[in-house]
Amino acid sequence: MKSKALGRGLDALFGEIDEAYENEGTKNDNILNINLKDIVPNPFQPRKVFNEESLQELSESIKKDGLLQPIVVKENIDTYMIIAGERRYRASKLAKLKTIRAIILNADDEKMRQFALIENIQRDDLNSIELALAYSELLKLHNITHEELAIIIHKSRANITNTIRLLQLSSKTQKALLDNKISAGHAKVMIGLDEKQQQLIVNSIIGQKLSVREVEVLVKKMKNSVTPKEIKKEEIKYDFSKVKDKLVTLGFKTKFTNNKLTIDFNSESQIEDFFQYLSK
pLDDT of residue 42: 75
Q: What's the half-sphere exposure (Cβ side, CA atoms, 13 Å) at 94?
A: 21
13 and 48 in a single domain? The answer is: yes
SS3 for 257?
A: strand
pTM of the model: 0.51
Residue 116 pLDDT more than 70?
Answer: no
* Phi, psi angle pair for 51, to nearest 5°: -65, 120
Number of domains in the chain: 3
90 and 181 in a single domain? The answer is: no
116 and 6 in a single domain? The answer is: yes
pLDDT per position as a tens digit, 255-273: 777 677 787 877 777 777 7
pLDDT of residue 173: 92
Task: Flag whether 88 is in a domain.
Answer: yes
The CATH number assigned to the domain holding 112 equals 3.90.1530.30
pLDDT of residue 172: 92
Give the closest residue to 87 by CA, choosing from 63, 54, 60. Answer: 54
Residue 130 pLDDT more than 50?
Answer: yes
pLDDT of residue 114: 67
Share of the chain above pLDDT 90, in %: 5
Residue 228 pLDDT more than 50?
Answer: no
Give the closest residue to 92 by CA, choosing from 32, 24, 37. Answer: 37
209 and 251 in a single domain? The answer is: no
Give the closest residue to 71 by CA, choosing from 106, 46, 43, 39. Answer: 39
Spatial contact of 166 and 132, defined as CB atoms under 8 Å apart: yes
- Give the CA diameter of the chain: 108
Task: Flag whether 164 is in a domain.
Answer: no
Share of the chain above pLDDT 70, in %: 74
Spatial contact of 90 and 55, defined as CB atoms under 8 Å apart: yes
pLDDT per position as a tens digit, 52-88: 777 888 888 888 888 878 888 888 888 888 887 888 8
Task: Flag whether 233 is in a domain.
Answer: no
Question: What confidence tier does 18 reach under pLDDT thresholds 50, 70, 90?
Answer: low
Domain of 260 in residue numbering reads as 241-279
Task: Flag whether 232 is in a domain.
Answer: no
pLDDT per position as a tens digit, 69-78: 888 888 888 8
6 and 112 in a single domain? The answer is: yes
